[in-house]
Structure 1
Amino acid sequence: MADAENIKSLSGLLNGIAQSRYYGNSEINEELLKRELYPDLPLDEFRALHDKMQGIVKSVVSADMDANQIEAFLTAQTKKQGGITVEQSAVIAKFWKNHKRKIRESMINHTRWENTLKSLKWRVDVKSQSRYSDQVSNAAAVVEMEIGANDKQSEFLCLEFNEAKLNEMLKKLSEVEESLAALTQIS
């Protein structure tokens, strides 16, 4: 029973660290975690455990470890003097498996300064009727973009290109691509 209780408390501690450090939940703090998860543990022992787990989570997050990397990292931590137990290693591995994507997205969102392209849709329209016969069967490329930050209202941009403008844009994009390729080969 004590092992299941320890696993549950450690899992709660890791989730609390993720909530406060990566998900922006300011209500979760060290005192709350101590009171709720480890009420019988002396304060200095809890702080040592909290700091150790926070350091491990920080290492795992900063390296964005995959399954093989975390297994090797946690194995090394279990063999290190003053490291973690095999049971703690299993809890940390499960925590990372469940939270990796969400923590990674949170880290990316916190490092973005500008708006991003949220969605891009395109289609080709062909006029089938017009007052003027020379406009019938003219194709137009329509590009619709949603641009914005996650916490702000998005802006929508709709562009329409005829064949000549589309070819001109593609030519300019090719020139940009060639310039970037030349710059990266020089460096």
Structure 2
Amino acid sequence: MAELDASKSLSGLLNGLAQCVYYNNPDITEELLKNELYPDLPQEEFRVLLEKMKGLLKSISSADMDVNQLEAFLTAQTKRQGGLSGEQAAVLSKFWKNHKSKIRESLVQQSRWENSLRGLSWRVDLQTQSRHAEQVNSPVAVVELELGRRGQDSEFVCLEFDEAKVTQVLKKMAEIEENINAIALSS
């Protein structure tokens, strides 16, 4: 029974750390985690456990470990002096399997400094009015980009391309694709 309680407490601690460190939840504090999960543990022992789990989560998440890497890492941690117990390794493994994609996404979001593309829509219109008669009834591609940073309102950019500009853009994209393929093949 005590082993089950220890696993539940550790699972709660890992979830709390994820909320605090990766999901930026300001309501989760070290004091809250200690009082709710480890009320009988002396403060210094709790601090050692907390820092140990933070360090392990940081190592696992920064390496974006897959199942095999995680298993090898946790096995090595259980064999180290003062490392993990088998039960702790099992709880960490289960936690990472359940939270890997969310933590990865959070780290990607946190690492972005600039706006990112949130959405894109496009359509082709026929121009019905123009100062120049030759432009009437010519197709125009209209592209709308939604740009923004996490936690901020989006900005919308609307672009119009005539047939010549669309051809130019497609040509440039083909060049980019060729360069990417050349780099990928040389690696």
TM-score interval, smaller chain: 0.7 to 0.9
Please state whether the residue corresponding to 2:114 is helix, strand or coil.
Answer: coil
Amino acid aligned to 1:124 = V
Shift of the alpha carbon at 1:183?
9.4
Identity %: 58
The residue number in structure 1 matching 2:104 is 104
Q: 1:79 corresponds to which residue?
A: 79
Gap regions ≥5 residues in structure 2: none
Distance 1:10 1:141 in 2: 56
Aligned pair in 2 of structure 1 residues 180, 64: CA closer, same or farther (>3 Å)?
Answer: closer
Mapped partners of 1:55, 1:113: distance in 2: 25
Please, what TM-score do these two structures have when normalized by structure 1? Answer: 0.83
Q: Could you tell me how far 1:29 is from its partner in structure 2?
A: 2.2
Residue number in structure 2 paired with 1:89: 89
Tell me, in whole angstroms, the C-alpha distance in 2 between the residues paired with 1:84 and 1:100.
20
Residue 62 (structure 1) aligns with:
62
Structure 2: how far apart are the matches of 1:15 and 1:168? 50
What is the CA–CA distance in structure 2 between the aligned matches of 1:59 and 1:156, rounded to whole Å? 38
Q: What is the RMSD of the two structures over their aligned residues, measured on CA atoms?
A: 2.9
Per the TM alignment, residue 134 of structure 1 is displaced from its structure 2 partner at its CA by: 7.6
2:26 paired residue number: 26
Unaligned runs of 5+ residues in structure 1 are none
Offset of residue 43 of structure 1: 2.2
TM-score, normalisation: structure 2: 0.83
Q: Deviation per CA, 1:76-130: give whole Å up to 9, x if none.
A: 1112221111111111111112222222222222222111111122233457x78
Closer, same or farther: CA 44–101 of 1 in aligned 2, 3 Å: same
Distance 1:181-1:98 versus aligned 2 partners, 3 A rule: closer
Task: Name whichever of 116-125 and 148-157 sits farther off.
Answer: 116-125
Residue type matched to 1:53 in 2? Answer: M
In 1, Cα distance between equivalents of 2:23 and 2:45: 26
- Per-residue CA deviation, residues 16-39 of structure 1 (Å, 9 max, x unaligned), is 111222222233222221111011
**Partner of 1:12 in structure 2?**
12
Task: Point out the more displaced range, 93-102 or 168-177.
Answer: 168-177
1:121 aligns with 2:121: yes
Q: Which residue of 2 aligns with 1:154?
A: 154
**Matching residue of 1:48:** 48
SS at match of 1:114: coil
Give the whole-Å Cα distance in 2 for the aligned partners of 1:113 and 1:51.
Answer: 28
Aligned to 2:140: 140
